[in-house]
Structure 1
Amino acid sequence: MSEALPVLPSSPVLRASWLRSREHGLVTDQHLPDGILARADFAEHIEANARLLAFSRPAIENLYRQIGGPSSMVLLADERGLILSALGNTEFLDRAARVALSPGAEWSEASVGTNAIGTALHTGHTVAVRGAEHYLDRNRFLTCIATPILAPGGGMLGILDVSTDARANISHAGALLRTTAELIEHSLIEHLESGFVTIRFHSRAELVDGPLEALAVFDEERRLVASNRAARSLLKLDRAHPSAAFDHCFATGWAALLGLAAGNGGAFPLRAVDGRSFVGRAALRDRSIAPRAPRPPPAQCAGEPRPGGQLAQMSQSDPRVAAAIATLRASAAANVPLLIEGETGTGKTHLIRAFHADHRRHADAPLVIIDGSSLRGAGASAELADRLGQAAEGTLFVVEIDALPNAMQRALFGTRTSRGATRIIAATRKRVAHLADSGRLELAHFAAAGGLQLSLPPLRERDDFDELVRLFVREACPERAIHVSPDALTLLRRHRWPGNLSELRSQLRLTLALMGDNANELCPQDIPPELFDDDSGEGR
């Protein structure tokens, strides 16, 4: 075995990790140990982390869809670096398993040296380890990014990791990874069985009641029992051990807060002890003490957006849609470019219209939409520049971005450095990973500007199909209540809906129009049989 220390990485974080790896007695050409746990032992770890696995699964699946490369995987590890689950391309999973990057293996620094999972565990922060920056030779075909998942009561619950082939470009994965970790933390707190009162708050009203809100749970003795990273940041609590009492966090009186929590759950001003003001909501968790009344709909004028903005009115029962909306909201202040993928009719334009309405800088800020496939010929660059001018201080939304020549794509995303007030959003019907691999999508300037990717699922894969049907029925017939029978929903699910939301909305409007003005229930016999002529007849 080699005695000489190889050239250390330039990053101070990774340099320190390499030195720790050597102190652990590891050498760079070390043989692969038998690091996989016996099945019985691994089952105990799975049982011990059942909540983490259950509440992280939807978010992890969404993250993998957004990363989407053929040589990639998403891993979940526990607080000691033991891999609990792996989701990815079968071929790449097999390749990773050859270096024990698979469930049952421990990837702490002490076991395998510098790597994203182990080093993130040690530092408590997001860590990227690229190719040759791995301490062990055998792991250098990998590029990995990992971020901690914080436990509701403090400390670290686990690690979320994206690993790819070292040649792949996953510069966009860091932001997606952190957002996914926050979604998991939020879900874990939402489903806590302990605690007395939950406080939702933020300095920005539109983030309250969303995945990026600050969450704090206190017990009857006013002690903080759970909080997410947003709450710890806003309240300036210790990130790892956020021990605090209510009176050390908020100047709003405890009795007044409990009165608000036992009421209708409406928003109220919430003051911190340092004088800062938040918008808050409170709810009692112990229903046996004081059941929380259903929150009444606020009074509003016809046509006026409900509180929280237009994004809040969109269905977020599907985890992938909720994650996309959370990413949009998180990007609003930074004004980074956005790239959204989704099949025809999945609601890309509707989503961006809602986002622009919620986050425009002033009432007259323009939203300019242009089809990339229409920019052809010698004047295309000039037309793009003209549209950028029209969108100044607003939003330029380019659909079919992959139809633009690469030079124009670079020019578009490069404008952000000189036009910081113009938001650049692009969309494609195809998979971003496939377009990038084939050279049809230029992402270098996009990544350099800190761009974020979003993915909208096709209707056939959404978890909120029934909710969407009822929503579109209400939209089509706002003057009367129409019940949608369970059998009708079952029948509608059989269709593949290649046109996605657009097709569903149009078909329901036609069906309701044919039913007549006196109908009050949508039944299977109301659905045109020709809708299924081109279907296989199989369920969704």
Structure 2
Amino acid sequence: MITQDGNHFPQRASFDTVVDMANEKRRVLIADSQLRSSSFGIKSSDKPEFSSAGRGVLAHALDESRFLLQHAAAAMQTLHEQISNTHSMVVLTSANGLVLKSLGDIDFLEKAAQVALAPGFDWSEKINGTNAIGTALREEQSMIVHGGEHFMNANKFLTCACAPISDPYGRLIGALDLTSDYRSFQQHTMALVKMSVQMIENHMFEDISSKGVVIHFHARAEFIGTLVDGIAVFSADGRFLSANRSAQFQLGLSFNALSAHTFSSLFGIPMSRLYALCRGTLTKLHSLCLYNGVTVSCRVDITSSGQFFTGQEILPKPAIDAASITREPLSPSLTPKSKLSTLRYLDTGDAQIAAVIQKLRLVRGRDIPIMILGETGTGKELMAQAIHGDSERSSAPFVCVNCASIPESLIESELFGYESGAFTGAREKGVIGKIQQANGGTLFLDEIGDMPRNLQARLLRVLQERRISPLGAGREIAVDISILCATNKNLKEMIACGEFRQDLYYRLNGLVVRLPALRERTDFKFVVSKIISSLSTYSKPVDLSDEVMEMFQRYQWPGNFRQLHNLLRTAVVMSGDTGTIERLHLPDDFLEEIAVLPCVDTFDIPAVTGALTNTKPAINPFANVANVADITKPAARLEEVTTLAIAQMLRQHKGNVSSAAKALGISRNTIYRKKHQLPADVWD
């Protein structure tokens, strides 16, 4: 048996034997690393190396690692949210160990900076001796280095779990590390890091998947399209181009070994037979037998290298001059005759979602701008991608710009690009802006309500004239784009306050659709099962216990799908191979919030207060609340009860979060998460 790390174990080895062998292998790797560290001339008493930092060094490394940074940002943020307030940090490095980016708790970031664990510093073995980053990169495999296993004494207060990151062509491109105080080490840390790395690698893989015939495969059909989906890319004549980590694992071959194979040698049939199988049945999963005898389900993408695959024939792809300024839209005659609807897969039984999809189908192909409304985490970007996927522009770029995540000083250059020498620090060859990158395809402006007002006028002009002028350029460039945008803000209120241009609003809202919050959806159980199915890497299906499902259905899910996905992602790992997610597998902060929610539709204030404190309260947190009668009505939102209790207790403790949390019997994190819902006077 071969694990995804490349370890070889006897087929019938017990779980304990496998664990012992893995631990022994780790001890050998650490011992080897310790010997190398000594040979480098490093002493355990050496102080952290700060001389390697420099703006020029870091700026050059960031520029060289643009591809990695672009695809790692989302996974890093997700991992950071999962480990926040645990004295931990997430670190991204280059292939040579230079720290590129870090996210974490402020206090721990400051502590780590004292040993040079910060952007711009080198954490290769030659500089820091045995450490998870340097050793993982040296061995090109995941690595945990705990406390005293670090070579340098200065680093022994850390525990680090690191996994290397490979690009779509099998080359080492960097590493992702999760570092914490050695006293707070968690057994599931490495599993979270590995899953995050797989997300990053799959995202990078998507960038090259349009360059060949793409095969999605797995031994279990329900895993097609999930994180553990095997993806292999071949040229139109069957030459191997690339394969993601899951595909290498399922095929039992390294990237270099796969390079000597063809589609025929791996899947047992010629490419012509594959085309015949897919003719007229592009939406169907096919059963194929791998060279090693394993039967897998496969889905074949409709494009192939340099060609459009229609299921009937191979048509030449129109040549595009990379140097040309404008990009001609795809000719309708070259659009695939059979096309898999991506909107259809978002229709999971909820009536509100079905109505939204029906509206979108009615305007498909009419070049009508679409505005998607909804709370944070309701899947606005996923819906935008589905709209693009069902459009005639689906073979052209889908470019997403999050207007809230780009600093105001950079958003103009991000959108419009700039010419060489446009400003101090500009790249020598200039940069193509997001709008021009979307030429011929779709531009998705997420969080449009956060776009600075001075740029709203420029965007309006682009929408009217379909031309842009990069910073420092003396010319205009024609662009052909479809516009989608999304926001969780009330743009009409912003217009009334002078924060958003009315003319831009009416240019963007050709069709406005609203996505329901997770708590409002009627397909909740189905959604939970689909998420768990996509996250589970075990042969045995993972289910929710009745108790956990009851908790989930009572909870308000302020973070919507993003919150549910992150919670389930950790719970699946914590449940191991038990097959059932129980209460003990859920995070403490979630259980604390559930504890304040009553199990029935009607409730009384003392009962809720008792749940908050776990004892009979000495002080009624609802004293002097003007609308107690209103909040005790059965129709009142349960989350308002919690918010009012927290607000009153903060007032009584003069804004001291620790004291208020202690009095309520909840964590400080719970209060901080509700900070945006609390009135300003509670902090006085």
TM-score class, shorter-chain normalisation, is 0.5 to 0.7
Distance in 1, Cα, partners of 2:44 & 2:591: 32
Distance in 2, Cα, partners of 1:211 & 1:106: 31
Q: Partner residue of 1:251? A: 268
Among residues 178, 184, 207, which one is paired with 1:168 in the alignment?
Answer: 184
Q: Partner residue of 1:277? A: 295
Can you list the C-alpha shifts for 1:371-416, whole angstroms capped at 9, x where unaligned?
7999xxxxxxxxxxxxxxxxxxxxx99999xxxxxxxxxxxx9xx9
Residue correspondence of structure 1 range 6-155 to structure 2 within 5 A: 11-155=27-171
Q: Cα 1:80–1:163, aligned 2, differ >3 Å: closer, same or farther?
A: same
Q: Partner residue of 2:339? A: 294
The letter for the 1-side match of 2:89 is M
Distance in 1, Cα, partners of 2:117 & 2:131: 11
Distance in 1, Cα, partners of 2:190 & 2:150: 18
Residue correspondence of structure 1 range 193-204 to structure 2 within 5 A: 195-204=211-220
Can you list the C-alpha shifts for 1:92-140, whole angstroms capped at 9, x where unaligned?
1111111111111111111110000011111222111111110011111
Q: Partner residue of 1:335? A: none
Over the aligned positions, Cα root-mean-square deviation in angstroms equals 4.6
Q: Partner residue of 1:158? A: 174
Distance in 1, Cα, partners of 2:342 & 2:185: 46
SS of corresponding position for 1:294: coil
Distance in 2, Cα, partners of 1:218 & 1:373: 46
The letter for the 2-side match of 1:209 is G
Q: Partner residue of 2:245? A: 229
Counting aligned pairs with the same residue, the percent is 26
Can you list the C-alpha shifts for 1:253-312, whole angstroms capped at 9, x where unaligned?
211224556753431112212332211111214446375442158999x9999xxxxxxx
User: Are the equivalent residues in 1 in contact too, given 2:137–2:164 (CA < 8 A)?
Assistant: yes
Distance in 1, Cα, partners of 2:253 & 2:539: 32
The letter for the 1-side match of 2:147 is G
**Count of aligned pairs:** 367
User: Are the equivalent residues in 2 in contact too, given 1:369–1:399 (CA < 8 A)?
Assistant: no
Q: Partner residue of 1:525? A: none
Distance in 1, Cα, partners of 2:74 & 2:36: 35
Shift of 1:247: 2.5
Can you list the C-alpha shifts for 1:464-505, whole angstroms capped at 9, x where unaligned?
xxxxxxxxxxxxxxxxxxxxxxxxxxxxxxxxx9969xxxxx
Residue correspondence of structure 1 range 434-449 to structure 2 within 5 A: none
User: Are the equivalent residues in 2 in contact too, given 1:371–1:399 (CA < 8 A)?
Assistant: no
Distance in 2, Cα, partners of 1:296 & 1:372: 31
User: Are the equivalent residues in 1 in contact too, given 2:222–2:533 (CA < 8 A)?
Assistant: no
Distance in 2, Cα, partners of 1:421 & 1:71: 30
Q: Cα 1:130–1:253, aligned 2, differ >3 Å: closer, same or farther?
A: same
Can you list the C-alpha shifts for 1:339-382, whole angstroms capped at 9, x where unaligned?
xxxx994998665455689999999x9965227999xxxxxxxx
User: Are the equivalent residues in 1 in contact too, given 2:49–2:127 (CA < 8 A)?
Assistant: no
Q: Cα 1:191–1:100, aligned 2, differ >3 Å: closer, same or farther?
A: same
Q: Partner residue of 1:370? A: 547
The letter for the 2-side match of 1:162 is L
Shift of 1:143: 0.7
Q: Cα 1:298–1:232, aligned 2, differ >3 Å: closer, same or farther?
A: same
User: Are the equivalent residues in 2 in contact too, given 1:367–1:397 (CA < 8 A)?
Assistant: no
Distance in 2, Cα, partners of 1:349 & 1:421: 17
Distance in 2, Cα, partners of 1:276 & 1:116: 35
The letter for the 1-side match of 2:296 is F
Q: Cα 1:422–1:48, aligned 2, differ >3 Å: closer, same or farther?
A: closer
Q: Cα 1:278–1:35, aligned 2, differ >3 Å: closer, same or farther?
A: farther
Distance in 2, Cα, partners of 1:47 & 1:256: 44
SS of corresponding position for 1:56: helix
Q: Which moved more, 1:251-260 or 1:425-434?
A: 425-434
Distance in 2, Cα, partners of 1:366 & 1:183: 23
Q: Partner residue of 1:323? A: none
User: Are the equivalent residues in 2 in contact too, given 1:397–1:425 (CA < 8 A)?
Assistant: no
The letter for the 1-side match of 2:229 is E
Residue correspondence of structure 1 range 308-387 to structure 2 within 5 A: 345=519, 351-352=527-528, 368-370=545-547
The letter for the 2-side match of 1:279 is S
**What TM-score, normalized by structure 2, do the two folds share?**
0.47
Distance in 2, Cα, partners of 1:219 & 1:185: 20
Q: Cα 1:240–1:140, aligned 2, differ >3 Å: closer, same or farther?
A: farther
Larger Rg: 2
Distance in 1, Cα, partners of 2:137 & 2:591: 29
Shift of 1:39: 1.6
User: Are the equivalent residues in 2 in contact too, given 1:63–1:180 (CA < 8 A)?
Assistant: yes
Q: Partner residue of 1:453? A: none
Q: Cα 1:10–1:196, aligned 2, differ >3 Å: closer, same or farther?
A: closer
SS of corresponding position for 1:215: strand
**What TM-score, normalized by structure 1, do the two folds share?**
0.58
SS of corresponding position for 2:227: coil
Q: Partner residue of 1:267? A: 285
Work out whether 1:218 is the aligned partner of 2:395.
no
Q: Cα 1:367–1:149, aligned 2, differ >3 Å: closer, same or farther?
A: closer
Q: Cα 1:159–1:357, aligned 2, differ >3 Å: closer, same or farther?
A: closer
Q: Cα 1:199–1:498, aligned 2, differ >3 Å: closer, same or farther?
A: farther
User: Are the equivalent residues in 2 in contact too, given 1:99–1:138 (CA < 8 A)?
Assistant: yes
SS of corresponding position for 1:57: helix
User: Are the equivalent residues in 2 in contact too, given 1:398–1:426 (CA < 8 A)?
Assistant: no
The letter for the 2-side match of 1:246 is F
User: Are the equivalent residues in 2 in contact too, given 1:345–1:499 (CA < 8 A)?
Assistant: no
Q: Cα 1:43–1:366, aligned 2, differ >3 Å: closer, same or farther?
A: closer
Can you list the C-alpha shifts for 1:7-52, whole angstroms capped at 9, x where unaligned?
xx99222111101111111110113333434322322211111111
User: Are the equivalent residues in 2 in contact too, given 1:150–1:228 (CA < 8 A)?
Assistant: no
Distance in 1, Cα, partners of 2:289 & 2:128: 47
Distance in 2, Cα, partners of 1:139 & 1:357: 39
SS of corresponding position for 2:183: coil
Work out whether 1:424 is the aligned partner of 2:582.
yes
SS of corresponding position for 1:248: helix
Distance in 2, Cα, partners of 1:240 & 1:425: 44
User: Are the equivalent residues in 2 in contact too, given 1:68–1:433 (CA < 8 A)?
Assistant: no
Distance in 1, Cα, partners of 2:160 & 2:119: 16
Distance in 1, Cα, partners of 2:187 & 2:158: 14
The letter for the 2-side match of 1:61 is Q
The letter for the 2-side match of 1:99 is V
